[in-house]
Amino acid sequence: MAFYSLDLDMLDSISLKQSNKREGAESTVLNGDAQSETLNWEKAGGPPFLAARQPNVESEYSYGSRSGIWRLLRIFAEHQYKFTLLAVGQALEMNPAVAKACVEAGHEIAGHGYRWLDCRDLPPEEEKELVKRAIRAIQDTAGVDPAGWYVGRISPNSVGVVWEAFEEMGLHLKWQSDFYGDDVPVWTHLPAKLASVQEKEEAARRLGEGEEEKCEKKPKEGLLHVPYSYDCNDMKFHFAADGFGGASFYNYLVDAFDMLYEEGGKMMSIGLHGRIVGKPGRARQLQRFLNYISSKPDVWVCTRADIATHWRDRFPYQPVPSLLP
């Protein structure tokens, strides 16, 4: 069986990364930023407006939450396919109706940060607090706990920071997707700092039970990466030389699907945004692709949480040296 992950990114007051929801969390002076957003809009590439609003960018990002996301929800409902909404916390707070609609339709809501900002220079504690704030935004608007996370604009500390934020809030990080190195999920050991903390906790537990001071040197819990993908991603409409003109988006998705389908047992991750593929002509290409894969046997279109559960059951974490660091 081949399994496929469709991601909606919610950044514009929403986005489909399997669906990415970002609209409302982009850079703008309305959010206290120094400049307007420059990424991922139809006329990207020009200089930002400094200390001033950029009405064109603001209205472009609002398309995802006003129109695009609802078109995509209808398209997915045609086949009863489920996706993972990678949600930026502030975007959900600005448009809680999307969170409610996704939960009611059975889609997964996962974390994508509190704002769509570059994390590379953030101190770890500040980055962790933003992760916690995003978790609370998901809980407040969707009424669910996130099971997974995708940072995107990542820092060297992000993977460990997200894990720690989940642990400190009493939650379980079931999957993480800032990994691009395979066509199937991949286990890694926890970052060294987290592994040492886990070992100390285990040693304390053993001593508390009157056991000898022995503990395993390797962590008992690993980190499951459900890979993300930039090649099968509607951002190429903005970045590719041909802008994914005509049917090239559909053709590329079909080619990728056919190769993985022939190989069997692989995962295809498709990144979508309401303000990008939610546009009518592009949505038609997505609709054609979903129609195409629905005609194939042994295809599972599912959420990242579904994939993580499947992989954990079939291929549990093994603390062996051969795993990636």
* Residue 61 pLDDT grade (very low, low, confident, very high; cuts 50, 70, 90): confident
pLDDT over threshold 90, residue 293: yes
**What is residue 243's predicted lDDT score, i.e. its pLDDT?**
56
Instruction: Tell me the mean pLDDT in the region 74-102.
Output: 95
Instruction: Provide mean pLDDT across the span 286-296.
Output: 95
- What is the number of domains present in the chain? 1
The answer as to whether 209 is a domain residue is: no
Instruction: Decide: 186 and 179 in contact? Cβ < 8 Å.
Output: yes
Of 1-5, 42-46, 112-116, 290-294, minimum mean pLDDT range: 1-5
Reported residue count of the chain is: 325
Asked whether residue 288 is assigned to any structural domain, the reply reads yes
Q: Say which CATH number the domain at 300 has.
A: 3.20.20.370
DSSP code of residue 190: P
The predicted structure's pLDDT at residue 261: 94
Cα separations in angstroms, 87 against 55, 78, 180, 188: 23, 23, 20, 24
Q: What is the mean pLDDT of residues 267-272?
A: 94
Tell me, what DSSP letter sits at residue 35?
Answer: B
In a domain, 104, yes or no: yes
- Residue owning tokens 């950044």: 11
Residue 112 has pLDDT above 70, yes or no: yes
Note if the pTM is more than 0.85: no
In a domain, 319, yes or no: no
Cα–Cα dist 80/153, whole Å: 31
Domain span at residue 306?
4-38+51-202+220-314
What proportion of the chain, given as a percentage, has pLDDT over 70?
A: 70
Question: Does residue 320 lie in a domain region?
Answer: no
pLDDT at 226 over 80: yes
Mean per-residue pLDDT, 144-153: 96
Candidates 227, 234, 309; CA nearest to 271 is 234
Q: Report if residue 229 sits inside a domain.
A: yes
Please give the Cα distance from 86 to 19 (Å, whole number): 6
Stretch 53-57: mean pLDDT: 69
Q: Is residue 46 part of a domain?
A: no
pLDDT tens column, 95-107: 999 999 999 999 9
Q: Is 176 exposed, middle or buried (0-12, 13-18, 19+ CB in 10 A)?
A: buried
In sequence order, the 6+-apart residues with CB closer than 8 A to the CB of 62 are: 12, 13, 23, 275
Between helices 124-142 and 158-168, what is the axis angle to 10°?
A: 50
Q: Read off the pLDDT of residues 36-52 as tens digits, 9 standing for 90 and up.
A: 555 555 555 566 666 66
Residue 325 lies in a domain: no
Instruction: Yes or no: say if 203 and 215 are a contact pair by the CB < 8 Å rule.
Output: yes
Euclidean distance between CA atoms 91 and 155, whole angstroms: 21
Cα–Cα distance between 16 and 5 in angstroms, integer? 12
118-148 pLDDT per residue, tens: 888 889 999 999 999 999 999 999 999 999 9
